[in-house]
Amino acid sequence: MSAPAPTSTRATDGLLMEALLHTLRGLTPIAQGLCALLLVFYLFSGVRFVGPQESALVLRLGKLQPQVHGPGLLFTWPAPIDEVVLLATGVEHTLALDTWTSRGPRLEQGRHFREATAEEKAAGVAQIGNQFLPVEVAPVGDSLDPVADGYTLTGDWNVVQGRFSLRYRITDPVAHFRAAHSTPALLEAVASRALTAELAVLPIDDALTSGRDKLAEAVRTRIAAAAEQFDLGLTPTAFELRELRPPTQVVAAFEEVTTARLQARTMTENAREYRERQLGAVRGSTATVRRRSDGWAGETVAASEGEAAAFRLLLTEYRRTPDLITQRLYSETVGQVLHQAHSATVLPPGEAPPAVLIEPTSDATR
């Protein structure tokens, strides 16, 4: 009983075409010209302009064509035969990753207490002897919700959170279009996995200070490898650590540690500077004393060598003429002694043996 249906459908389509043609014949020439003009506009509606930073893909009857069209005019069949998809391949795209945003109140004090209730006192909670101690409590919002709050652990078991950005370029429009329906979610998952893997082997001090650039580059490399593995048709250009820090609740404790480290570093630098100043002063004094001692030693040696040379010359002359040298030495000695004496008296040789009486002055050298 269902066999006549196709014949009835074809008959109905034939009647519609016949009615359409009859209607067109019945139009005035002006109306026919307008219809022809609309038909021309419809045929040229498939012409598109592709911008200088764009690439175009064509879906023909819903099937993706493999050819990628660059900037310029693009001639396609009008809709619904062809559909043009424009992709910004000449610019960088930015994906914000804010699932690890730090939340919660800032706690200046790490521990909070309350007074024990009557029931707790009756049960002997926090009781030492006859004294009841305050009961430690957790203030509202001082902990992380593992379901709602994103976070990860560093290599030394510290919790960190933050906000990040991934910049990338579309390098394969066809592959990117095929994965476009899941690209943002997939990139976010890949970036989170890569960042977790890198932070898992990095101490928190390095992650928050000197190791940030190295960490960002390592994460970008991991994302690039995953994008190639999943054929996403894109290349990551940069991974930015817009914010990376401990949870807000413990930031105060980390700031105290940082302040203590800065103070220790300052004191160490001051001690090093004081040490260098003192060593410089001691080295200068030592060099001065050494120069003076070297000068005195040189002068003493030179004087001793001069006296020794003069003595050797005098000895040579003495061996030649001992009487003359003896008389000269005697005269020089008496002259030196008399030069230092205040007065001198010489007795005549005939009255007594020759003698010299010297009355030295109070400041004479003994």
Taking the C-alpha atoms of residue 77 and residue 62, their distance in angstroms, rounded to an integer, is 13
Domain boundary among 222, 246, 270: 246
In a domain, 15, yes or no: no
Q: Is residue 82 domain-shared with residue 189, that is, in the same domain?
A: no
The total of other beta-carbon atoms located within 10 Å of residue 107's CB is 18
pLDDT at 237 over 90: yes
In a domain, 159, yes or no: yes
In a domain, 33, yes or no: yes
Where would I find the H helices in 321-346?
Answer: 322-340
Q: Is residue 97 domain-shared with residue 197, that is, in the same domain?
A: yes
Q: Is residue 228 domain-shared with residue 340, that is, in the same domain?
A: no
β pairing state of 127-128 and 152-153: unpaired
In a domain, 200, yes or no: yes
**Of the listed ranges 68-77, 169-178, 183-192, 301-310, the one predicted with least confidence:** 68-77
Q: pLDDT per residue over 90-131, tens digit each?
A: 889 999 998 888 776 666 655 566 677 777 767 766 666 677
Task: Tokens 């066809």: give the residue.
Answer: 174
In a domain, 340, yes or no: yes
Q: Is residue 161 domain-shared with residue 134, that is, in the same domain?
A: no
β-bridge mates for residue 128, sequence order: 131
Amino acid, single-letter form, for residue 30? I
pLDDT at 207 over 80: yes
Q: Is residue 189 domain-shared with residue 137, that is, in the same domain?
A: no
Taking the C-alpha atoms of residue 241 and residue 188, their distance in angstroms, rounded to an integer, is 14
Mean pLDDT of the chain: 79
Q: pLDDT per residue over 256-301, tens digit each?
A: 888 888 899 899 999 999 999 999 889 989 989 999 999 999 899 9
Q: Is residue 239 domain-shared with residue 157, that is, in the same domain?
A: yes
Q: Is residue 136 domain-shared with residue 220, that is, in the same domain?
A: no
Q: Is residue 76 domain-shared with residue 212, that is, in the same domain?
A: no
Total domains, the chain: 4
Q: Please report, for residues 16, 35, 36, 113, the alpha-carbon distance to residue 31 in angstroms, rounded to integers and kept in the order given.
A: 20, 6, 9, 89
Residue 39 is encoded by which pair of tokens?
A: 């038909």
Where would I find the H helices in the chain?
Answer: 5-25, 29-44, 118-123, 173-178, 183-199, 204-208, 212-229, 251-320, 322-340
Region at 212 (left for phi over 0; alpha for psi -120 to 50; beta for the rest): alpha
- Report the CATH number at residue 181: 3.30.479.30
3-state secondary structure labels for all residues of 184-245: HHHHHHHHHHHHHHHHCCCCHHHHHCCCHHHHHHHHHHHHHHHHHHCCCCEEEEEEEEEEEE
Q: Are 88 and 62 in contact (CB under 8 A)?
A: no
Q: Is residue 116 domain-shared with residue 97, that is, in the same domain?
A: no
Q: Is residue 181 domain-shared with residue 101, that is, in the same domain?
A: yes
Q: Are 126 and 57 in contact (CB under 8 A)?
A: no
Q: Is residue 132 domain-shared with residue 79, that is, in the same domain?
A: no
Q: Is residue 226 domain-shared with residue 363, that is, in the same domain?
A: no
pLDDT at 354 over 60: no
Q: What is the extent of the structural domain holding 76?
A: 25-87
Domain boundary among 246, 274, 301: 246
Q: Residue 2: its pLDDT value, please? A: 42
In a domain, 344, yes or no: yes
